[in-house]
Amino acid sequence: MPSHRRPKQQHPRYAGVVTATAAAAVALSAQQAGADPLPDPAKKGVQAQVDRLYEEATQATEKYNGAKERADALREEAGLLQDGAARKQARLNELRDRIGVLAAGQYRAGGLDPSLQLFLSSDPAAYLERAAALERAGERQAAVLRQFTEQRRTLDRQRAEATAKLRDLGAVQKELAARKGEIQGKLRKAQRLLDNLSAKERNRIAAERERADRAGARADLGSEKSVTGRAAAAFAAAQSRVGLPYVWGASGPNSFDCSGLTSWAFRQANVSLPRTSQAQAAVGTRLDSLGDLRPGDLIVMRTDLSHIGFYAGNGQILHSPKPGAKVRYESIARSGMPFMWGVRIG
């Protein structure tokens, strides 16, 4: 027979604890499902805060690199315009002198009314010949004057363009200074956090970093081959830099940030890449699947495309990861950064 006993009632306080625990578990699972791959500083301690600051510094570094690339281009363009204006000014000075010589000659030859000169001339034929020559000289002077006017307009336009470029350069240089201050501020804050740790904790973190660099200096890359010769040459160049330090804004040959390593390596293969990870993510042939990548392909990381390296084979990335680290191999799955897509340079 079925039991008619009433089920045992839970204690109200116990039920509240269970409910709260279940709610917390649901909230935590939902938070984890859409969470940033980086650890939460409030939960993971100083190392997580330092990692977060390093990530923010590398993101700001790519913005700094973009501003520096624009500044370099503006500086070159303004310089070319200024050099061209200087050369044009020299030609204008020569034209002005020629106009002066022609005008003086005309003045000397045309002091009297032409009909009176012909009446008084002892050799009318010779006079008419000189008059025709004088008319031709006047035509030459008019042509020189037209040339002078056209070149003067061009000179004024070049000077205006140079002034605009220099004005833009000034704005970009302000952005550079702001980005530099942002990066340095985050690195100083990270260092202060590390300095406030005990000596034991600092030594532990330093040892972990050294272990990661040592392990990342070698990796089982499998037997995959690069698809293109240029990618193979660039990848080989990057491999020769393993063990060299990350330095923000650096593009080799003895220190690198992430896009500095990839752009330097491809220069060794006679390929010019843009300076930033975001710009490099837009060149070549896009590869959306990790399974399509081969050694030497670029691999773009993070949702804001602020990190880039080389696919090294066997699920590994070769990159310059962050401040305090060295150029190394690392498992893509364990890097803590989401894969976005790959890029193949032909």
Q: Catalytic residues, which ones?
A: 258, 307, 319
Judge contact between 38 and 48, C-beta under 8 A: yes
Sign of CA dihedral 18, 20, 25, 26: positive
Q: If you ran DSSP here, which 8-state letter would residue 240 be given?
A: T
Q: Could you give the CA distance from residue 346 to residue 344 in angstroms, rounded to a whole number?
A: 6
Judge contact between 329 and 316, C-beta under 8 A: yes
DSSP codes, 272-299: ---SSHHHHTTSSEEE--GGG--TT-EE
33 by Cβ neighbours in 10 Å (0-12 / 13-18 / 19+) ranks as: exposed
Strands of the 285-287 sheet, one edge to the other? 285-287, 339-344, 298-301, 307-313, 316-319, 328-331
Sole residue written with tokens 């740790």: 197
